Chains A and B, each alone.
Chain A
Amino acid sequence: MGIAVEKELGAFRGEEMVLNIGPQHPSTHGVLRLKVHTDGEIITKIIPYIGYLHRCFEKHCENLTYEQAIPFTDRCDYIGSMNNNFGYAVAVEQLMEIKVPEKVEFMRVIVAEMNRISSHLLALGTFGLDVGAFTPFLYCFRDRERILDLFEMLCGARLLYNYIWVGGVSHDFPVGWVEKTYDFLDYFEPKINEYNELLTYNKIFIERSADIGVIPSDIAVSYGVTGPNLRGSGIRWDLRKDDPYSIYDRFDFDIPIGTGAMGSVGDCWDRYYVRVRELEECIKIIRQALDGMPRDGDVHATLPKKIRPKSGHVYSRTESPRGDLGYYIVSDGSDIPSRLKLRSPAFTALSCLDEIARGWMISDVIAILGSLDIVLGEIDR
């Protein structure tokens, strides 16, 4: 539609106007500044300016020991902290060749998938908020709150957990936690239908998101777009299945992809709906993991006294709620990493904004940005 409108208005092309969105704007999901070049209402170019939340994560890590870097990874993607801890732990364990106990693997998968649910709920809610639906946001936060309560019971923190350590986890599950998690799943599973009725099949919402901001699959791959955004473009690619880490190869779950049910493949609605369907898959994984988890075992059994990997390097990636989360770690044999690079999925997703938003209206840019589910903490690090 966007390109057609542009052609139609071609003869009346007016003067270019530059509009500044952000850095303080609720729909930019943090502190992101967009310089939008417009022709009337139609976007001709977008230049994102990032770095407002730059906290020198990589520089700090070169002065911290390996253990001390874990709380910093929490703060990179503060919506999916467990997944960030998980990725870091997997990378350092690969470097040190640690094999953690079976029970720890299950526990990690459970908390990571719980965090994926809470992250997706936030993404769905705020996407609705961006396109003008306020109520679903409250429903999503109501359920997200329960997960945060469970995490609070688990490790005391509600947002920045520092839970998954290199070689183990910080605490065993408290008494009654597993039962409470079962209760939560029983409660949560029917709620997905509620979101569908409220938002997914809402006529106004479909009008705002279907056929808008299509990412063709080749563009998505070239821009390194990963996670639900890539799957929304119809590519069945998920690290948990295609390059399994930890024990993900033992679980039975599907990878939902965008089908273009409401418009065309890779539009905002597809990206949104992939996240909704992933909620169901997360529930499946958590149930299997809770059932299969060994009940006894020491979660600190393989915790190294001192983390001092032999010199070498590793690039390891895991599937965070936003996509491929990569850590490139260079060790020089000391207890401080000589280089630690975080490849964040939101960074790559944002970089394609200019490409996909051209030709659309300003209000569509807000919808596209919301559907990409970016977290600025992770982009700026």
Chain B
Amino acid sequence: MDFVGIVESINAKFGKDFASIDEEVSEETVRITPEQWGQLAPFLREEPELFFDAMMCITGIDEGEDSENLAVVYNLHSMKHNHKLEVYVSTLKNDPKVPSVEQIWRIADWFEREVFDMYGIEFDGHRDLRRILLPSDWEGFPLRKDYEFPETWHGIVVNKMKEGWE
């Protein structure tokens, strides 16, 4: 199924303005809120015509220092129908919360832990949400644009990242 068909079948289920296509950003992305994602995710997995059984990637994004939003991007793929979908879920920086899909796609377990690790986005319903790549007592979320590097960690001096490269 092509992208327009996928959006139509989503809108047929949840109402006609549920998923909107933002042509300014990308023509192949569905942009929704975290609440909508909680409804949409099981539907995408179970609906026989869509049947997105594989989660390719989950990416956290900081929309920039001026923006108030963080975002989580889900890249889905259907092994059966061989079609793809990208879902862009934006959430607020001061209270980042997105429903977890860890029990729908098992790989989301580690991917969501990684996004939490790097951006501090809380995934509601995740059974084991803790840091994965960084040490458990690390402070702050490094991939946020306003992250400030610590000067020391357990007495070890952390090298400052250079401003631009010569």
Contact = CB atoms under 8 A, between A and B. Distances in A.
Q: Do A and B bind each other?
A: yes
Interface of A: 50-51, 54, 56, 58-59, 62-64, 68, 219, 221-224, 235, 237, 242-243, 312-313, 315, 317, 324, 326, 328, 330, 332, 338-339, 341, 343, 347-348, 351-352, 355, 380-381
Interface of B: 25-26, 53-57, 59-62, 64, 73, 75, 79, 82, 86, 105-107, 109-110, 118, 131-135, 142-143, 161-162, 164-165
A224 B134 contact: no
A224 B59 CA distance: 15
B1 to A, nearest CB: 15
A222 B64 contact: no
Of listed B73, B82, B131, residue having the most chain A CB within 10 A: B73
A59 B142 contact: yes
Given A51-B135, A54-B133, A56-B142, A224 B61 contact: no
Nearest to B56: A326
B79 A328 contact: no
A63 B166 CA distance: 12
B106 A355 contact: yes
A324 B75 CA distance: 13
Contacts of B26: 312-313
A302 to B, nearest CB: 25
Given A54-B134, A64-B165, A341-B57, A242 B109 contact: no
Nearest to A56: B142
A138 to B, nearest CB: 35
A351 B109 contact: yes
Contacts of A58: 118, 143
Given A51-B132, A64-B165, A328-B57, A224 B75 contact: no
Contact of B64 (A324, A328, A338, A341): A338
B56 A317 contact: yes
A348 to B, nearest CB: 5
Of listed B75, B106, B161, residue having the most chain A CB within 10 A: B106
A315 B28 CA distance: 11
Given A59-B142, A221-B53, A339 B132 contact: no
Nearest to B161: A63
Given A64-B165, A68-B165, A313-B26, A341 B105 contact: no
B66 to A, nearest CB: 12
A337 B61 CA distance: 12
Contact of A237 (B79, B86, B106, B143): B79
A224 B55 contact: yes
Given A339-B61, A351-B110, A222 B133 contact: no
Contacts of B165: 63-64, 68
A343 B134 CA distance: 17
30 contacts: A50-B132, A51-B135, A54-B133, A58-B143, A59-B142, A62-B143, A63-B164, A63-B165, A222-B53, A222-B106, A223-B106, A224-B54, A224-B56, A237-B79, A312-B26, A313-B26, A315-B75, A326-B56, A326-B57, A326-B75, A328-B73, A339-B62, A341-B57, A341-B59, A341-B60, A343-B56, A348-B107, A351-B106, A351-B107, A351-B109
